[in-house]
Amino acid sequence: DTEVTQTPKHLVMGMTNKKSLKCEQHMGHRAMYWYKQKAKKPPELMFVYSYEKLSINESVPSRFSPECPNSSLLNLHLHALQPEDSALYLCASSQDRSRDQGSGELFFGEGSRLTVL
Amino acid sequence: KNEVEQSPQNLTAQEGEFITINCSYSVGISALHWLQQHPGGGIVSLFMLSSGKKKHGRLIATINIQEKHSSLHITASHPRDSAVYICAVGGSEKLVFGKGMKLTVNP
A111 — pLDDT class (breaks 50, 70, 90)? very high
The C-alpha angle B36, B103, A42, rounded to 5 degrees, equals 50
Nearest to B43 among A90, A99, A104 (CB): A90
Tell me the mean pLDDT in the region B23-49.
89
pLDDT (tens digit per residue) in B49-61: 889 999 999 999 9
Is B41 in CB contact (< 8 Å) with chain A? yes
CB distance from B56 to chain A under 8 Å?
no
Average pLDDT over residues B10-35: 92
* Closest CB to B91 among A42, A99, A109: A99
Residue B92 pLDDT:
56
Q: Choose the closest CB to A102 out of B45, B91, B97.
A: B91
Decide if B71 contacts B20 (C-beta within 8 A).
yes
Least confident of A7-11, A18-22, B41-45: B41-45
Average pLDDT, chain B: 91
- How much is the pLDDT for B104? 97
Query: What's the pLDDT score for residue B41?
Result: 83
pLDDT digits (tens, 9 = 90+) for A40-49: 899 999 999 9
Residues of A in contact with B43 (CB under 8 A): 43, 90, 92, 108, 111
**Which range among A6-10, A25-29, B87-91 shows the weakest confidence by mean pLDDT?**
B87-91
**pLDDT surpassing 60 at residue B79:** yes
pLDDT band at A103 (very low <50, low <70, confident <90, very high): very low
DSSP class of residue A19 equals E
Residue A110 at interface with chain B, using a CB cutoff of 8 Å: yes
- Note the pLDDT of residue A1: 62
Q: What percent of chain B has pLDDT over 90?
A: 73
User: What residues of chain A lie within 8 A of the CB of B41, using their CB?
Assistant: 110-111
Report the pLDDT averaged over residues A67-88. 96
Give which of B46, B86, B93 to mutate to test A binding, by max A Cβ within 10 Å: B93
Q: Is B28 within 8 Å of chain A by CB?
A: no
Interface check B92 vs A, CB under 8 A: yes
CA distance B45 to chain A (A): 6
ω into residue B8 within 30 of 0, thus cis? yes
Confidence class for position B91, pLDDT limits 50, 70, 90: low
pLDDT at B80 over 80: yes
Mean pLDDT to the nearest integer, B78-89: 95
Q: How confident is the model at residue A102, as a pLDDT?
A: 44
A4-7 and A64-70: which strand pairing? unpaired
Residue A44, min C-alpha distance to chain B (Å): 9
Query: In Å, what is the CA distance from B28 to each residue of A89, B87, B103?
Result: 28, 15, 27
Q: Are B53 and B47 in contact (CB under 8 A)?
A: no
